[in-house]
Structure 1
């Protein structure tokens, strides 16, 4: 295999990874940020806009015995944000279930399965 072939295959890897059905890091971030924003607003702690850092740590297909359905993934992530100006950053390790919306649209839905500050 020539260097050109290797470079061409390497360029295709991000597209092939996206075909697995697993949510992308950007999709996960968007859904977890929206969930966090709503949760903080319900508690009267508005002002959250976005995480300072968000990192997808990995996903596994959700098992049916834990409530998972085909096409759903249990994913782990780390999210860091500054809760209040002047306060130290807070990093949370979280787990969520991501899957296709049951309403027929092509969007993803997020179910919070827990987060732990570290």
Structure 2
């Protein structure tokens, strides 16, 4: 750690305390990282043209009530995420297909 401390400052600002400074910087960085890793907050932006509000809300996209979802699909409507070739199961389309489309009544699927 003293080498990192000396790489930042060309002269010793805290003689004999390089280890303490390195510890404080490391602890501060760890606390900041832990703060940033906490569950997210709502981020909102108000627009004038068009007059609307855009909010980014942490949570499950498919459990939101009163929201309108726009999920892109291919023009062939291939929605089989079983093998991951056509639709990646971890994509929004794959998650939507697994959570919502599979529950719809209709002809049996093979």
The reply to whether TM is greater than 0.5 is no
Superposition TM-score, scaled by structure 1 size:
0.24
Higher normalized strand content (fraction of residues): 1
- Pair member with larger Rg: 2
Superposition TM-score, scaled by structure 2 size:
0.25
